[in-house]
Amino acid sequence: MSPDNPPWLETDANGHISVLEVPARLSAHPEVLRRGLEPVDTLKIGVVYRTSQRQSPQYVIKILHLDSEEREIYQRLLENLASPNHTIPAELTSPDAGHPLLIMPALWDYVFICHSNSSLYDTLGSFLQLIEGVEYLHDHHIAHMDLCPDNIVTANRRQDQPHPHVIPGKLYIIDFGSSRQFHLGPGEQPAITLPPSQIPPPNGLKRFDPYSWDVYCAAQIMQVFLEMNHGERCPPWIARRYIEWLIGTERGCTDVCRCRPTARKARQVLAGIRWVVGMWEMLEGVLRYMSSTLRHVFLLRIPYHDKLGFNQQLPS
């Protein structure tokens, strides 16, 4: 293990770790100085920091672990950022300029800007973006291994976007610190030992097909999205059934997992469901408009005194 690997920690005069202090070596990093960045907020102690709000645009700086595959994975994913790639637009610093850093736009966790009045069509749209991004990773034989709500970010549609390569409303997947690359793809790769993750595995399992694990975690994220988007309203049954299908009935497969669909199959089915929901919501909108219009026309044809109930003739 390299001694330069994070966490980079600061200590006070008594030798105690200052958990909120920005490491001096990060502030003095040649690439941080060259870009005029001022890291001030700690997002992950000794690893991830955010620049000052006084600077626009804001950035997040991550100190990369040299023993992980994160840098190599980002090198591959950043080559083409067009959809269906949902990797956040970021820049890797050169190892020649000091310890490698990842510098990326400071965006919002998606769960912080979910709207409780979202339509089912819009909710399924967020599902589709997520599973599309997972499918893209799996097509390149990359398993994220730590998908969770905190690792899905987006740019708020209601604010000006200072980052030219960020698309408002697009979901971005971040944090590939636990990610792995494989020679075998989905449907071929057997189970591996799971790394630590924010979402606990079902039934206390320690080994999992890595691609199936990503789909399981994506389903858990969708469950959070559904609850946030629909608030106290009863979640639509079709969304609940879809999530249940992705979660599957875990049997503890030690080889290729058959407990849930692949990301590709999940995306294909979801695209069909969303199309049907979109047509249904459009039809509902048309029927509501026609009903409102007919009611308005009907009321216009009734004399004013009839509307008030004074339709009897007065005595002479």
CA atoms of 257 and 251, how far apart (whole Å) = 9
Looking at residue 309, its pLDDT comes to: 57
The pLDDT of residue 292 is 76
Q: How many CB atoms lie within 10 A of CB 56?
A: 9
The DSSP bridge pattern shows strands 108-109 and 152-154 to be antiparallel
- State residue 238's pLDDT score: 94
Identity of residue 97: A
User: What SS3 class is residue 17?
Assistant: strand
Q: Tokens for 248, please give them.
A: 């599957």
Cβ atoms of 92 and 138 closer than 8 Å? no
What is the predicted pLDDT for the residue at 307?
Answer: 52
Q: Which residues of the chain have pLDDT under 50?
A: none
pLDDT at 121 (0 to 100):
94
pTM for the model stands at 0.89
Give me the residue label for tokens 């999530």.
243
Q: What is the pLDDT of residue 42?
A: 95
> In sequence order, what are the beta bridge partners of 17?
11
Burial 80-109 (b: 16+ CB within 10 A, else e): ebeeebbbbebebbeeeebbbbbbbbbbee
- pLDDT the model gives residue 14: 85
